[in-house]
Amino acid sequence: MIPTIRKTLLAVAIALGASSASADYAKYYENLPVALQPVKDVKFPDYKVDLRDFGAVSDGVTLNTAAFADAMAHLASKGGGVLCVPEGIWYTGPIQFESNINLHLERGALILFSDNLADYPTLKSDWEGLSTYRAMSPLSARGKTNVGITGEGTINGNGQSWRPVKKMKMTDAQWKKLCQTGCVNEKGDVWFPNEKVLKVYNDKSIQEKVHSGDAEALAEAHDFLRPVLLSFIGCRNVLLQGVTFENSPAWNVHPLLCENLIVDNVNIRNPWYAQNGDGIDIESCTGVLLVNSSFDVGDDAICLKSGKDKDGRERGIPSSGVLIEGCTVYHGHGGFVIGSEMSGGCKDIVARNCVFIGTDVGLRFKSTRGRGGVVENIYVDNIKMTDIPGEALIFDMYYGIKPGAPVPPVTEETPSFRNIFIKDVTCRSAGRAALFNGLPEMPMKNVVIEDSRFRADKGFMLNYVDGLTLKNVTVDVPGEKIVYGDGVVGVKID
């Protein structure tokens, strides 16, 4: 059925061309330390419709899943356009995008996703770099072209209906209130939203059967298979602009295998205790611009990935041509992060002019044996940090394993980090200035830090580094500025 379109929002596609939330993105590519191909504006037809014309009701109670689906289908039949979401609380199940459609949230619009987990069917997807099964994401697109979410509204994933919570991250009063619903594990230190999630959490055999697609296990594990809030897979020309994304079941925004991705002036939020509550995880994407955005999340904030272990190596698509500028990170496990799922590699990455306030660590590079992959040509410039309880800069190649294990031979499973250039970093306060924790079989190679100042409780700790240059670097600590551990060669200090 073709709806009666509200005159104030109807603009039939005319000779004036297409609309786009265009900006002068070319300016960000001036004076870069490495040549990156500028992103292109993402454009949409000028045809507009209003969600209310498809039967949607903004009372915060009525389920509007069908209205969103009908609006998407109508726009697709017209060649695309803009779906306007007015002020109000729009309660809904999953929204699946079509090509050439911009979901535009006006000021005061809140899309609140259903807390009925049965509204999200299980399907083949990806999670933490592996091909597996998950519940459908609240926002999803696969293989689409010209996809946008813009405006001044908010998208809330109702993540508390999915996520477990660790007692150590709550106050006594918060924990007592939380335990009035759901259930806790035998030790009494983790809360779960329901008994089904707790059962799968405790039964690794069910989790293993899920990966193989066992139908019985998938049905039993459904509530355990928390989705990311936004899952865009294999899409080209993606625009996320102005909107707040918050309260995700797992990761918040997850573009995977996308090309020409623009993330501009978004606000990404999760409770600080949110399990797997990452901000944005850019995985195996090419041509990405992330600018002027803020993050306050429960795990890593701005994170680059490219698949995990064998799955990532076989995919073999690095995250590349990524420019991050003008972002602010409040709480997060790391401000700017590469890894640990980086088995397809990361290269030609620039992160500059950002501020980290109170992140657990500042610049975080992490991997582990078994990953493989090469991380190279990383340029970090003008990062300001304060109140960092951990390291301002950390390279940890022992993520998830303990040092002291037998040293294996170098194979395709050995991760490699090299050619990393860090300039103009100012850290006012941190637990440690920097930790380099490389692998004996594959030390970090050619790391350059210049024109930087670190004020911390401890200085630099170096293990397995082959080529480290410190030029015009101040390490303001009460004890030793640099502690040399094992396997440190080629350190140059100017």
d(CA 245, CA 231): 12
Evaluate the CA torsion angle 65, 67, 72, 74 in order and state its sign.
positive
254 catalytic per annotation = no
Please name the residues in contact with 225: beta carbons below 8 A apart, sequence gap of 6 or more: 122, 127, 133, 134, 135, 210, 218
d(CA 378, CA 338): 10
Give the 3-state secondary structure of residue 428: strand
Give the 3-state secondary structure of residue 161: helix
d(CA 468, CA 50): 57
Give the 3-state secondary structure of residue 359: coil
- Considering the candidates 74, 104, 222, 333, report the single residue annotated as catalytic: 333
Q: Answer for the pair 396, 435: CB distance below 8 angstroms, yes or no.
A: yes
Q: What residue has token string 């009925």?
A: 116
The HSE-up count of residue 319 (CA atoms within 13 Å, CB side) is 31
Phi, psi angle pair for 14, to nearest 5°:
-125, -175
d(CA 159, CA 226): 9
d(CA 58, CA 91): 7
- Considering the candidates 46, 70, 264, 299, report the single residue annotated as catalytic: 299
d(CA 100, CA 97): 9
Estimate the crossing angle of helix 195-202 against helix 204-212, to 10 degrees: 90
Length of the chain measured in residues: 494
Hey, what amino acid is at 410? V
Hey, what amino acid is at 150? T
Q: What is the DSSP annotation of 210-240?
A: HHHT-HHHHHHHGGGSPPPSEEEES-EEEEE
CA 489 to chain centre: 35
Dihedral of CA atoms 423, 295, 400, 381 in degrees, nearest 10, equals: -10
Strand partners, 489: 466
333 catalytic per annotation = yes
Q: What is the DSSP letter of 301?
A: S
d(CA 90, CA 92): 6
Of the candidates 209, 203, 225, 16, the residue with the CA atom closest to the CA atom of residue 123: 225
| Other beta carbons within 10 Å of 157 | 29
Residues designated catalytic: 299, 333
